[in-house]
Amino acid sequence: MPETTEWQFPNRATPLGSPTYYAVRFSPPTQRQRDALLVAWDHLIQDIAERPIDPGVARTKLDWWRTEIVNLTNGSARHPLALALQAQGLAAPATGAMIGVIDAAEEDIRSPSPADGSAFAASCRQGRGSFFELLAQLENASDDVTTICRDAGGYCAAIERVQRLAERPERVPPALSPASLGRLSMTQRVRRLDELLGQFDLGSLEKVLPLPGLARRLTALAMALHRKMRRTGYAVSDQLIDRPPIAHLWTAWRCR
């Protein structure tokens, strides 16, 4: 197993110059390591569910992690990353939200391709939304803030799926596949993707102050990327649109 130090900030999920790096970099010093570990853990769980060669093996790995979360709660974790989280004092009820992240990953294995826009939004909210709920639990947030967190996490997942549409076309509805988008005019393409992403309450998400710090910065970074993709007419069917590291730094700094 990898050593515990492998998960220290910056780690494989928060590489230098990436949006997640700056989102974590501007966490308070007392929370920075915890936030880096949580992002790394979420990344690890998503890796298990992403394009599994053997879905049965992937589900077995997720079951192992469910047991490991119970071990973490009891103070008997074994995996180096779980040990590092345990050292950060992670315990129930936060670990209950971690099970939600694992459940969402398993659902992605069962149903990797959303049939339509509604299924797309539900999948995004269940996935990254569960991770944002975990961040809310750690901050002892109110139910209202937790609800906003779920929508914000879903929005961030949706933006990432649209950004990586050329690489992972199965993660969006078939009507928005690269081939389908390629047959649309720019105006039609913008209307279709605005409609897809409009399932998230962008008005509320612009008022990101109630969100926990890490969730607030990740949401602001997603919104900045969304604006850039829209300026290109969502030209994502054959390329990866991203922002330079200095732009990520500026956005995260403003939300610190």
What's the pLDDT tens digit per position in 136-187?
988 887 888 888 889 999 999 999 999 999 999 999 999 999 999 989 999 9
- Dihedral angle, C-alpha 8, 12, 18, 20, nearest 10 °: -60
CB 41 within 8 A of CB 85: yes
The confidence score (pLDDT) of residue 147 equals: 86
| Model pTM score | 0.93
The confidence score (pLDDT) of residue 4 equals: 52
The confidence score (pLDDT) of residue 139 equals: 85
Proportion of the chain above pLDDT 70, given as a percent: 95
The confidence score (pLDDT) of residue 209 equals: 63
pLDDT in tens, 40-61: 999 999 999 987 789 999 999 9
Two structure tokens written together for 213: 């710090």
Exposure string over 182-200, b if 16+ CB within 10 A, otherwise e: eebeeeebbebbeebbebb
CA atoms in the 13 A half-sphere facing the CB of 54: 4
pLDDT in tens, 82-119: 999 988 887 666 788 899 999 999 999 998 899 999 99
